Structure 1
Amino acid sequence: MPPKPVDAPPPSARERAYGWIAQAILSGTFSEGQFLDEVALAREVGTSRTPIREALHRLQAERFVDLVPRKGAQVRVVTVTEMRQIYQTRFVIEADALTKICARRLGAPPESHELVEGMERARRDQNWDELARLDQLYHASIVRHTGNAVMADIYDSLRPRQIRLAVKNLHSSPERLPLIEREHRELVAALDEHDGERGVGIIETHLREVPELVRAFSAG
């Protein structure tokens, strides 16, 4: 008889706390600038305060919260300046990756088609959190496809802020989704056709400043 599959261990209290708080920030349950009460968080998650503190330290490292002396954890306010810097950094890394992939005629990452289809399903289900998660994986797959592990790690360090920006973008301008989906498919086509110049042009348009998002962060 084949061996029984080993069940994955249940998440630790710290992992449950991290996931719950991160999701609450992404969904807007906790607004930017809001201070988080450790006792209330422990009650909501069903843990002691120690896993909450550990989760908050991880969230600080990922720039979801700031730990303010004598006041506690505060949900970070993402400014327009930071938003622009994140998009500028992404463009530099992704444009370089696209150019190298096309020069080496590698084609699109094998998982890109599945990720595009997953994003489109999430859009139909109006599951913005899942769409943002898959969007980050899609772009990260392009960077990792170059084989430069250091560059991929640098890009992955942007993941929490990238997902948070994407969720806010989707809430502020959902009408742009058909355009975003078209650009995703066009980018895959450019990679498969080894057209680096076209790919860089698509990603430049894809990461352009969106007035609705600028207003959303200005208001925040």
Structure 2
Amino acid sequence: MGLIFRIRKKFGFLFKWFFKKDRMKIGIYGPPNAGKTTLANRILRDWTGDVMGSVSNVPHETRRARLREGVRIEVDGKSVTLDIVDTPGLATKIDFHEFLKYGLPEEEAKRRAKEATEGVIEAIKWLDDLDGVLLVMDSTEDPFTQVNVTIVGNIEARGLPLLIVANKIDLPNASPARIKAAFPQHPVVPISALKGLNIDSLYKAIAERFG
């Protein structure tokens, strides 16, 4: 595994060409409440008629990675079959007091904080088993955060293809341009996973980037 990792890091494009797979394992990453599961549900509904899981306004609703295999996307004659991993929200610090604000009992809040912390560790470990990443960012917020910078650096260090999804463009204060300015080295696709706005452009980018 170590040798393959070093080869892929140094010769990413050649590695992809020589070791091209029939199916690509793609992780959906991002901070809590960026819309990762909403995006996963949108993709699955559009291409399989199914959903990945439930969503909530409470942060860290997804506390364990969820895998859905064999999702085939076809756009403009190009197709790609994905195994999609919906990962827990990434955070540098998880405090149980954060959950108390949403009316959860203290015992439940502490349990959720513990599970969310374990979920962050699991999400980072998944990077070693992926072929590419969809990084979801909330386009209404400042993208230049420690979480975003750290995960982009981790993805780049592994030589993984990255597609940044600027989510929530349906909201009035959305600014995908801020995300493009913060990470100009990577393609950025503005969408609303909830409303389905510009989702066809994302599918086209996925087919081109990961196909």
Same fold (TM over 0.5): no
- The structure that is strand-richer by fraction is 2
> When the two structures are superposed, what TM-score results if normalisation uses the length of structure 2?
0.27
- The structure that is helix-richer by fraction is 1
Q: Which of the pair has more CA radius of gyration?
A: 1
